[in-house]
């Protein structure tokens, strides 16, 4: 991790290639998003480190990310943890050059890496948020999923006010574990999803599972099976969590509707492919399924660019 500490702000030096503006396009995919805010070419994000709320303003200056602390400057320990958070959030640990070396020879992926050069998988570092968001999106369109998320965050998340604007934090599993199904039903969650999300929160609380619990495991199948042992988490949800939260390069949510829509658009097909057809076509992507999926998703947000 390459960064410099300046007390009221930090500078992070991302590995090449990296295009911050490409990542902003992905983060701007819904105007209902409440987990971050984009103003011009700056990204605002509220995070919680060591029980302290920290509001960040992130922008790109030449080849470095400038991360400004809004409000009082946090301790040196918090500043260091902020650098680690941002480094992880934008997946700077992955060797994107290796993906490009492989994708340059793939007729499906080559146009994508040419168009979206420097895009990295923007993660969801909190395990409960990653799982709850994936469950929220099960079998509904993205627009309605964001509306549910907004209500969920406004009702149960923490917030911080800066310059007369509120910035929000996704609810903690400890808060949600104490709820009843009817509490989430009141926010338009289905009975099943309310049960799942509260159940996940209770499981994480009971077993003290964190993201690090899963990161210590080396085998993708072991992680997937552990996630799928929780009621409400199927293969699609598990792979989304592995991809967005754990940065597992070979996670492949093969049944994802967005993936299938993107392939239909990208390949100029009249009908969406079957899962078997996608599996056959994507066989060569082994080792990089997650990035292939993320770049195909990027196609769906072209109207924001």
Q: Is 256 a catalytic residue?
A: yes
- Strands annotated E in the chain: 3-5, 9-12, 37-39, 42-49, 52-61, 64-70, 159-162, 165-168
Q: How far apart are CA 141 and CA 127, in angstroms?
A: 22
In 3D space, the residue among 181, 162, 186, 184 whose CA is nearest the CA of residue 171 turns out to be: 184
From the candidates 91, 126, 239, 256, give the one annotated as an active-site residue.
256
Question: How far is Cα of residue 219 from the mean position of the Cα atoms in its chain?
Answer: 21
Give me the residues paired with residue 37 across strands.
Answer: 44
In 3D space, the residue among 122, 114, 136 whose CA is nearest the CA of residue 26 turns out to be: 122
Q: How far apart are CA 161 and CA 265, in angstroms?
A: 41
Contact 44, 59 (CB under 8 A): no
Contact 251, 237 (CB under 8 A): no
Show which residues are catalytic.
256
């Amino acid at each position: 991790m390459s960064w410099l500490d300046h007390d009221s702000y930090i500078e992070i030096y991302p590995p090449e290639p990296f295009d911050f503006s490409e990542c902003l396009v992905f983060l701007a995919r819904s105007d209902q998003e409440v987990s971050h805010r984009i103003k011009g070419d700056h990204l605002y994000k509220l995070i919680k480190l060591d029980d302290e709320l920290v509001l960040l303003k992130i922008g790109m200056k030449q080849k470095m990310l400038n991360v400004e602390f809004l409000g009082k400057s946090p301790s040196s320990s918090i500043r260091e943890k902020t650098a680690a958070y941002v480094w992880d959030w934008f997946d700077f640990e992955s060797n994107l050059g290796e993906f490009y070396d492989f994708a340059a020879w793939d007729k499906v992926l080559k146009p994508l890496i040419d168009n979206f050069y420097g895009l990295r998988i923007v993660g969801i570092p909190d395990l409960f948020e990653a799982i709850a968001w994936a469950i929220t999106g099960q079998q509904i369109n993205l627009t309605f999923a964001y509306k549910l998320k907004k209500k969920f965050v406004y009702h149960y998340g923490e917030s911080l006010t800066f310059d007369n604007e509120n910035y929000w934090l996704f609810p903690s599993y400890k808060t949600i574990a104490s709820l009843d199904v009817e509490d989430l039903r009141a926010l338009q969650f289905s009975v099943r999803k309310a049960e799942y999300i509260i159940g996940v929160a209770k499981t994480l609380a009971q077993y003290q599972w964190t993201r690090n619990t899963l990161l210590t495991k080396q085998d993708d199948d072991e992680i997937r099976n552990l996630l799928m042992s929780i009621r409400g988490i199927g293969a699609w949800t598990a792979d989304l969590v592995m991809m967005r939260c754990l940065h597992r390069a070979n996670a492949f949510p093969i049944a994802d509707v967005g993936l299938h829509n993107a392939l239909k658009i990208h390949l100029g097909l009249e009908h969406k492919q079957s899962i078997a057809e996608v599996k056959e076509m994507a066989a060569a992507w082994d080792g990089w399924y997650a990035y292939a999926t993320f770049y195909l998703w990027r196609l769906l947000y072209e109207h924001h660019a």
